[in-house]
A = this chain, B = another copy of it.
Amino acid sequence: MKTLAAEIISIGDELLIGQVVNTNASFLAKSLTELGVTVKHISTCCDTVEDITSALELAHNRVNVVLVTGGLGPTRDDVTKAALCQFYNTELVFNQEVYSHLEFLFAHYIKAPMNAHNRDQARLPKSCKVLFNDHGTAPGMLFEHEGVISAFMPGVPFEMKSLFENKLKEILLELPGRTAIIQKTLITYGVGESRLAERIEDVEDLLPQGFSLAYLPNFGRVRLRITAKVSAGERIEAEQKVNTIAEQLKDRLSDCYQGEESEGGLEFRILELAKQKGVHVATAESFTSGRIASTLSAVSGSSAYFLGGYVTYATDMKISVLGVSKELIAAHSVVSAEVACAMAEGARLKSGAELAIASTGNAGPTKGDSEAEVGQIYLAISTADKTEAHFFSMGTHRERVIGRSVSKALELIYNELLNL
């Protein structure tokens, strides 16, 4: 018997031409990992019967769980069902239950008559089990074939997620041989990965069987991921071991350790800490233009501490909205520690927040309203006690400068909250 392992297949030319980023695959990979099913392969293939059947054949040879997304629309570019009939040696048959469900969707939500393309969506491979789609017209399908379970879901992320959560998960939970996969990711900042590796070499040497350490560098930080893959019965023991290793690493790397990566990042920890300390936060953004605000508020519940902010992209808005003085800008330029501080202070006083953060800088690709070089930025934090600015040189690519600056802003907020 093959060990329990999964492959995720995405069908769609839009992925192969780079028009769409494959977030479906990362969602499914994460979900399977959480369920204790190891993902061994992720693959993407063209919208042709030949490529789809080849991909299925390969997957059936190397794993025993196959999750497929895409290619199930009602239009003629979608040929997945034809490929399935060929691969599973079956034929399309009309499914009355699916048809009634379609009629219901059209009558109540879509409010339009069904056409031939829609009616065809009720024709499904005879040997499949239908996974009813509550959010769209393309039903999901499940096959069990030569010891392999394969599920086919539409590519629209929302419909796929709902099918996975509500229909597929319970089936996967029944599979024997699931492992417990325990992970913890520590975030470090400012030390390169090779130097980190050197400093924790002995910890890495002593990792137990089934445990591993991975280094994920990006945007000036290195994330260290500890993973343990054990049988379900060993979960509690493994969790304890992962925690012990994490503590060792935190201790060893105390000068560059920033925190654990929680679900979704620092914004979750900021929410918890701000609520706990009763601190309200506001933002004043120039070149990050709402990215700090939208990151802070991406977390459900953030309205408990995040008041809002000011996007003062144009220099005049810094003056009229935040009350930064013209003279200060003339003396120091808009990209300066002084203006960053004035923006943060202005935002704090105008919003009534206990803590405000401001950004000003040049994200490039060309010089803006100041003489600052591309990538030079200031972030300022203001509280009742003090207002201080931090200077950073963030590289030369617009996207990277903004991304790193938003990360850094969250870190500054978090560290300031710790001190308040």
Q: A332: which B residues are within 8 A, CB to CB?
A: none
Interface contact A195-B112, CB-CB below 8 Å: yes
Are B300 and A289 closer than 8 Å at their CB atoms?
no
**Of all chain B residues, which has the CB nearest A192?**
B110
| Across-interface contacts of A296 in B (CB, < 8 A) | 289
Kindly state the separation between the CA atoms of A46 and B214 in the bound complex, as whole angstroms: 12
**A397 CA to B292 CA in the complex, in Å?**
22
For residue A46, which residue of chain B has the nearest CB? B40
A309 is an interface residue with CB less than 8 A from chain B: yes
B309 touches A314 (CB 8 A): no
User: Once bound together, how far apart are the Cα atoms of A314 and B212, in whole Å?
Assistant: 44
A303 & B314 in contact (Cβ 8 Å cutoff): yes
Contacts of A312 in B (CB 8 A): 308
Cβ-closest chain B residue relative to A288: B294
Q: Does A57 contact B (CB under 8 A)?
A: no
Nearest chain-B residue to A307 (Cβ)?
Answer: B314
Q: In the complex, which residues of chain B have a beta carbon less than 8 angstroms from the beta carbon of A400?
A: 158
Whether B110 pairs with A19 at a CB distance below 8 angstroms is no
Of B15, B195, B293, the residue contacting A115 (CB under 8 A) is: B195
- Distance between Cα atoms of A41 and B351 in the complex (Å): 52
Check A15 against B42 for contact (C-beta < 8 Å).
yes
Give residues of chain A (34-71) contacting chain B, Cβ–Cβ below 8 Å.
38-47, 51, 58
Known A-B contacts A73-B215, A74-B197, A311-B310; the reply to A18 vs B26 at CB < 8 A is yes
Residue picked from A38, A112, A117, most chain B C-beta under 10 Å: A117
**Contacting pair A313 B303 (CB below 8 A):** yes
Of the candidates B18, B194, B310, the one whose C-beta lies within 8 Å of that of A33 is B18
The answer on a CB contact under 8 Å between A350 and B309 is no
- Partner of A198 from the list B116, B214, B298, B397 (CB cut-off 8 Å) is B116
Among A185, A197, A198, residue most surrounded by chain B Cβ atoms (within 10 Å): A197
A-B contact pairs, 9 of them (CB 8 A): A22-B22, A22-B26, A41-B43, A77-B214, A77-B215, A156-B218, A290-B290, A302-B313, A310-B310
User: Which of B16, B58, B297, B314 makes the CB contact (< 8 A) with A40?
Assistant: B16
Q: In the complex, are the beta carbons of B198 and A117 less than 8 A apart?
A: yes
User: For residue A289, which residues in chain B have a CB less than 8 angstroms away from its CB?
Assistant: 290, 293-294, 296-298, 306, 308
Q: Please choose the segment from A91-99, A122-130, A315-323 that sits at the chain B interface, where 4 or more of its residues have CB less than 8 A away.
A: A315-323
Residues of B within 8 A of A369 (CB): 303
Chain B residue, CB-CB nearest to A218: B156
